[in-house]
Amino acid sequence: MEILEQMKKEFTKQFGEKATRSYFSPGRVNLIGEHTDYNGGHVFPCAISLGTYALVADREDMTTRMYSMNLADKGIIEFPMTGLAYDAAKNWANYPMGVVDVFEKAGHKATHGFDILIYGTLPAGAGLSSSASLEVLTSVILNEAFDFKLDMIEMVKLSQKAENQFVGVNCGIMDQFAVGMGKKDCAILLDCNTLSYRYSKIALKDASIVITNTNKPHSLASSAYNVRRAQCEHALNELKEVKPDLTALGELGNDEFNQIAGHIEEVLERHRARHAVYENNRTLAAVKALENDDVKEFGCLMNESHFSLRDDYEVTGKELDTLAEIAWQQEGVIGSRMTGAGFGGSTVSLVKNDAIEAFKKNVGEAYTKKIGYAPSFVVASIADGTHRLAD
C-alpha cells in the first residue's frame, strides 16, 4: 500500500529506525440516530475506509514519541508513559496521552514507551471522528503491546473515558463504538442504554453513501453540545417526577412522550427532549425499513431527522441546512441529513450511483454561491473497526 510505504520512509527519517508493526483505525459516519447516544437511545453508524494509520516501534524506556505527517509543523511530541495530565502544549498528542492515562488508572500500566508515526486520511473538522479514531487506535496498540487482554468493547469504553475525563469533551459512546466495532459493509444498531448491538448489512444496490463536508472553518460545537446535554438531562428529571421509573429519554415512545411532555416547563427543553425521543424511535423505524429493503423510506426518515435536528434540537446552522436543502432538490437523492454533532462538519446523503457526479457538481456550485466557499465530497465505503495490518 502506497500510504504505508511513504510512512515507512518517514518513520526512519523521524526516528532513525524501522517500525515493527502497523495499524489502521477508521473514522465513522452516522446514518441516523443523532444526539441520541447520551440520551440512552439508539444510533446507527458505520466505520469508513478513511481513518488513521500508525506505524509503531517499541522503546526500552518509558518515553513515547509521536509524529503526525498531517501536522508536521508540530514536530515530534514526547510524553512519559505514566503520571500524565492534560497539557495544551502537547496539542493533538493529548488524545493518545488521555488513553495512556485512563489505562493506567484502570490498572493497565505500560512498562515501556513507543515511537509512533501517524498519518490520517480523514479531513480535519469534518465531524467524522478523527479523535475517536486516534483514541481507539492507541487503545489497540497498548492492549497488544502489553497483552492486557481487553476486548474491543472495554477498549471502546476506555477510549470514551479518555475523551470525557482527560480531553474534557463530554461525548457519548457512539464514535468510539463505531470506530472500534465497525464491520465491513455493515452499520451497527447500538442501544446506548444497554450497549447491546447488532450489525445490519448495508446493501444499497444502485446507491452510495456520500459525505459532504461543509468546510466551515470554526465551530463552537463543544460548548453548545454540553448545553444540549444539560437541557435533556433537566427535561428527563422533570419527566421523572411523573414517571419515577424512567431512566433515559430513549425509553419513551412518541405518544407516551406527548402525554407527559407538558411536565417539562421550559418550551425549549421540551423541544430538545422531543428530538431525543422522536429521533430514537425514528432510528428504529429506519433500520426496520432498510432491513425490509425499503431504502426510500430510510431516506425519508433521514430527511425527517434533519428537520428535527434543525427545528427542535437546533444544531444545524446555515452551512448544514444549505447542504441538506440543495441535496433534497437533486435528482437521485434518496435522503440527506447532517451527521455527527452538528454546527459544522458534514452531511450524509444516499445518492443513486448514476447521479453522484451531477450531485457533486450541483451541490458544489449552489453551496459555494450561497456560502462563499466550496464543500468537499467523499463517497464512503464501509470498513472494519480498528485493527493491526498484515506485515
The reply on whether position 249 binds ligand GLA by CB under 6 A is no
**Least spacing, CB of residue 171 vs ligand GLA, in Å:** 3
**Least spacing, CB of residue 268 vs ligand GLA, in Å:** 18
Cα distance between residue 168 and residue 158, in whole Å: 14
**Least spacing, CB of residue 244 vs ligand GLA, in Å:** 26
The reply on whether position 38 binds ligand GLA by CB under 6 A is yes
Which string of x and - marks every residue 166-205 that binds ligand GLA (by CB under 6 A)? -----xx-xx------------------------------
- Would you state the cell numbers that stand for residue 89, as one nine-digit string? 502544549
Neighbouring C-alpha atoms within 13 Å toward the C-beta of 6: 10
**Least spacing, CB of residue 139 vs ligand GLA, in Å:** 16
**Least spacing, CB of residue 221 vs ligand GLA, in Å:** 8
Based on CB atoms, which residue is closest to ligand GLA, 41 or 299?
41
Based on CB atoms, which residue is closest to ligand GLA, 172 or 335?
172
Based on CB atoms, which residue is closest to ligand GLA, 51 or 113?
51
- Which has the closest alpha carbon to 172: 186, 151, 157? 157
Cα distance between residue 187 and residue 178, in whole Å: 8
Order of strands, sheet of 197-201, starting from the edge strand that comes earlier in the sequence: 42-43, 186-191, 197-201
**Active-site residue identified among 37, 175, 191, 312:** 175
The three-state secondary structure class of 43 is strand
Based on CB atoms, which residue is closest to ligand GLA, 38 or 257?
38
Sole residue written with cell 447488532: 198
Please give the DSSP secondary-structure letter assigned to residue 332.
T
Provide DSSP, 51-103.
Answer: EEEEEEEE-SSSEEEEEEGGGGGG--EEEESSS----GGGGGGHHHHHHHHHH
Among 31, 35, 98, 133, binds ligand GLA (CB under 6 A): 35
Cα distance between residue 331 and residue 314, in whole Å: 27
The reply on whether position 128 binds ligand GLA by CB under 6 A is no
Based on CB atoms, which residue is closest to ligand GLA, 37 or 101?
37
Neighbouring C-alpha atoms within 13 Å toward the C-beta of 269: 19
Residues 315-344 that bind ligand GLA (CB under 6 A): 340-341
Q: Can 175 be counted among the known catalytic residues?
A: yes
- Would you state the cell numbers that stand for residue 360, as one nine-digit string? 457533486
Among 34, 101, 251, 269, binds ligand GLA (CB under 6 A): 34
Catalytic residue positions? Answer: 175
Residues in the site for ligand GLA, rule: CB under 6 A? 34-35, 37-38, 171-172, 174-175, 340-341
